[in-house]
Amino acid sequence: MKKIFSRPESLRDVPTHYCPGCGHGIAHRLLAQAVDDLGIREKVIGVAPVGCAVVAYDYWNFDCCEAAHGRALAVATAIKRVRPENIVFTYQGDGDLAAIGTNETIHTANRGENLTVIFINNAIYGMTGGQMAPTTLLGQKTATSPRGRNADSEGYPLKISELLAQLPAVKYIERVSLHSPQEVLKAQRAIKQAFQNQIENKGFSLVEILSPCPTYWGMSPDQAVEWVKETMSKEFPLGRIK
């Protein structure tokens, strides 16, 4: 019988440490599939963040680099400038990209670095035990917003993708979600597009992925997926932003 579906070569055959229902596993696979489809595995250099995906390099089967919390895009900028023939991406969570690393995010985008950014937005800090993220929704309860996020004292969910879209050097931004097979397929296309842009030297491309975190949302995996669909994607509308 002919094999028509298998694990991408860019994804190692090992169990991950992610919780049941977490979106990282799907996002890792989509990224690995895009790398395989574009035939760039031997040219790719990935930059892993600090956060739940800190050991993403244990799961990806290509060259990878660590970055201090928030500094992935500074690290990636240098790798790409030193080796323009390689394909360089960062994989960052909302705390990494939109809180501690906001400065690097804005300035790397503003320089129009020819990079691919995969931005996982799950509205929470997962690795450290469910604290408030810059993207936490108003009213959402976390370890550090136990009464729910209050706009008066904690401000509003930060729409970093919309902010970045204002910058002239940014070429492509799309927000996708993992809440249904249909949306997962759209996410796959967006990730591939963001790599294709880099291959064609088009410049800074970012895909924001709304991703469930059942453990720290206090939900079952089913409920978490439903929350992304019904609540989170209302605050963070899906589709092409730039």
Partner 1 sequence: MKKILMTGNEAIAEGALQAGCRFYAGYPITPQNELIAYMARHMIEAGGVFIQAESELAAINMVFGASAAGARAMTSSSSPGVSLKQEGISYLAGAELPAVIVNIMRAGPGLGNIWPAQSDYFQATRGGGNGEYRTIVLAPSSVNEAYNLVQDAFDLADKYRIPVMFLGDGILGQMMEPVLAHSQRLSACSRVNQLPAKEWALTGCKGRNPNLAASFRLAEGVLEKHNMHLQQKYNEIRSNEQNYEGLFLDDAQVILVAYGTMSRIAKGAVNRLREKGIKAGLIRPVALWPFPVNAFTQNKKLKIRYLVIEMSYGQMVEDVRLAVNGAWPVDFLGRSGGGVPTEDEIIKRVLF
Which are the contacts of 83, defined by CB distance < 8 A and separation ≥ 6? 45
Q: Which long-range contacts (CB under 8 A, 24 or more apart) does 64-69 make?
A: 69/95, 69/96, 69/100, 69/101
CB 17, min distance to partner 1, A = 10
Does 42 contact partner 1 by CB under 8 A?
Answer: yes
Does 63 contact partner 1 by CB under 8 A?
Answer: yes
Does 24 contact partner 1 by CB under 8 A?
Answer: no
Residue closest to 117 by CA, chosen among 86, 87, 85: 87
CB 84, min distance to partner 1, A = 10
Total length of the chain: 242
Question: Do residues 204 and 113 lie in contact, with contact meaning Cβ atoms separated by under 8 Å?
Answer: yes
146/168 Cα distance (integer angstroms): 39
Does 36 contact partner 1 by CB under 8 A?
Answer: no
Does 199 contact partner 1 by CB under 8 A?
Answer: no
How many chain residues are in contact with partner 1, going by CB under 8 A? 34
CB 217, min distance to partner 1, A = 25
Does 41 contact partner 1 by CB under 8 A?
Answer: yes
Q: What would the two tokens of residue 223 be?
A: 């409920």
Name the residues that contact partner 1, by CB under 8 A: 41-45, 47-48, 54-55, 57, 60-68, 71, 74-79, 81-83, 86, 103-104, 106-107
